């Protein structure tokens, strides 16, 4: 391990044998945390070559073997505020005949987690045995579950160390972490939703594009069809931010209602996945997905999915209950929204109890907010800017005070599109 640390520290590429030894020792505990932390810091300081990144990803992905794929398509988001696309996209793809088995995570910090949203549905189970997942995908066409403990175990250890050693923001480490889990799941078609903006992990377009290119290249190296969309996170996606409140909004979207930007992003992701599987034109695929959404086919699959994982679908149909203290923030004067501090909006959800600072923190499924803050929106005095659902007056008051500082007023000029760019494994062919 000392040789591996010194090679990376000095900028000398690791061989495939070096990387295999690194990963094996990480999984079996041979290398102590302090040596792994030293190597991670060396990577941050000196970087990895593309070939090293490919080899590291593969070694982490296949340390437990190469499983049969559970689904035909998969999706990964780098995380944002109000990002509930999986709740709509997964049943939509299944309704079109493209089964999706997705392993998701929990929210940490200002970004929400898909598992937390699903667990706000009474009875919904996210921990399922492999054979149950496989059977459910065959019968229903969709399963969204917690990540298996046997899936890319080296990444779990690396990620925990990166989180406490200041080594998170390194492109090769980010890409290998994400793609090792996706390769380990075996799914042949993958769309990556790379968020860009002040509510995302990547705040600028070009670094996000480079990360997308690297992840797409990894997928192509291992024979997977991958497309990455760069999507705007300069404002919350949709209106709802929280857990139960986001499930309710996803249900609205599945029934042809709800915010336009959520629908737009879901259809963009669906069209890319359909294109990867069938090679039909993206525009044609988009229209086919839109028709399935409008006809209620995805909503029907959503109901079967929720019931299959033990969830109370009747509760969803009624609308999941929200916290009892309801406060409204209204505009004091007319104006145009120039900019939204999206990260701060996500932190309001933390104040209310919808998120967590540490992975073992409890989450309140009923609290949350609806924010009608869209860049370029023209508002009049008295218009509703946000609604807060809290468990106490104190929490509601703190949330409203924080929200008041999340908006800058003025002419924003040209408002960028929701989809800022596209990177595909087909681009270099």
Q: Check 83, 116, 155, 364 and give the catalytic one.
A: 155
Q: Does 120 participate in catalysis according to the annotation? A: no
Residue 379: what are its φ and ψ, rounded to 5°? -120, 155
Q: In Å, how far from its chain's centre is CA 30?
A: 32
Question: Rounded CA gap, 384 and 396, in Å?
Answer: 16
Say whether 182 is catalytic. no
Per DSSP bridges, beta strands 384-390 and 100-104 are unpaired
Q: Is 75 a catalytic residue?
A: no
Point out the catalytic residue in the list 177, 180, 424, 425: 177
- Asked about 358 being catalytic, the answer comes back as no
User: Active-site residue among 21, 75, 76, 195?
Assistant: 76
Q: Residue 43's Cα: distance from chain center in Å?
A: 25
- Report H helices in 338-426: 342-352, 393-403
Q: Which one of the listed residues 162, 195, 224, 395 is annotated catalytic?
A: 162
H/E stretch holding 36: helix 33-46
Angle of helix 153-165 versus helix 33-46 axis, rounded to 10: 70
Q: Do 286 and 267 touch, CB atoms closer than 8 A?
A: yes
The residues near 174 (Cβ < 8 Å, ≥ 6 apart) are 168, 211
Strand 189-196: give its sheet, edge to edge.
142-146, 100-104, 73-77, 189-196, 225-232, 419-424
Helix, strand, coil percentages in the chain from 3-state DSSP, rounded to 5: 45, 15, 35
Tokens of 358: 């540490």
- CA gap 256, 96 in Å, rounded: 16
Q: Cα–Cα distance between 102 and 105 in angstroms, integer?
A: 10
Bridge partners (DSSP) listed for residue 75: 191
Q: CB-based burial of residue 355 (10 Å sphere; 0-12 exposed, 13-18 middle, 19+ buried)?
A: buried
Bridge partners, 330 (sequence order): 384
Does 275 participate in catalysis according to the annotation? no
C-alpha 398/C-alpha 253 separation (Å) is 30
- The residues annotated as belonging to the active site are 76, 155, 162, 177, 181
């Amino acid at each position: 391990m000392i040789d591996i640390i010194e090679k990376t520290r000095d900028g000398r590429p690791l061989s495939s044998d070096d990387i295999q030894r690194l990963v094996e020792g990480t999984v079996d505990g041979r290398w102590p945390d302090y040596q792994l932390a030293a190597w991670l810091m060396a990577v941050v300081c000196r970087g990895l070559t593309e070939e090293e990144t490919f080899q590291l990803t593969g070694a982490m992905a296949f340390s437990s073997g190469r499983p049969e794929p559970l689904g035909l398509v998969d999706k990964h988001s780098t995380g944002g505020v109000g990002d509930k696309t999986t709740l709509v996209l997964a049943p939509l793809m299944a309704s079109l005949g493209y089964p999706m088995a997705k392993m998701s995570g929990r929210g940490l910090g200002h970004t929400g987690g898909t598992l937390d949203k699903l667990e706000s549905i009474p009875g919904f189970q996210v921990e399922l045995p492999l054979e149950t997942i496989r059977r459910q995908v065959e019968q229903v066409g969709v399963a969204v579950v917690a990540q298996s403990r046997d899936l890319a175990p080296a990444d779990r250890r690396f990620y925990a160390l990166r989180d406490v050693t200041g080594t998170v923001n390194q492109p090769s480490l980010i890409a290998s972490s994400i793609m090792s889990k996706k390769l380990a799941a075996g799914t042949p078609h993958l769309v990556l939703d790379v968020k860009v903006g002040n509510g995302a992990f990547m705040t600028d377009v070009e670094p996000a594009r480079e990360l997308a290119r690297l992840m797409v290249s990894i997928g192509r190296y291992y024979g997977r069809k991958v497309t990455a969309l760069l999507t705007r996170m300069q404002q919350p996606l949709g209106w709802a931010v929280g857990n139960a409140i986001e499930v309710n909004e996803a249900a609205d979207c599945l029934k042809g209602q709800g915010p336009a930007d959520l629908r737009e992003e879901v259809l963009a992701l669906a069209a890319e996945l359909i294109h990867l599987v069938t090679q039909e034109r993206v525009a044609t695929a988009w229209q086919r997905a839109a028709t399935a959404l409008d006809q209620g086919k995805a909503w029907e699959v959503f109901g079967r999915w929720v019931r299959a994982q033990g969830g109370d679908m009747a509760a969803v149909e009624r609308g999941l209950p929200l916290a009892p203290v309801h406060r409204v923030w209204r505009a004091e004067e007319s104006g145009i929204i120039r900019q939204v501090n999206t990260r701060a909006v996500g932190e309001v959800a933390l104040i209310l109890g919808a998120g967590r600072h540490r992975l073992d923190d409890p989450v309140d499924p009923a609290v949350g907010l609806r924010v009608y803050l869209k860049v370029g929106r023209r508002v009049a005095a008295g218009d509703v800017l946000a609604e807060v659902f809290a468990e106490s007056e104190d929490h509601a008051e703190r949330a409203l005070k924080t929200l008041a500082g999340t908006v800058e007023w003025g002419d924003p000029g040209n408002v960028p599109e929701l989809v800022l760019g596209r990177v595909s494994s087909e681009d270099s062919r």
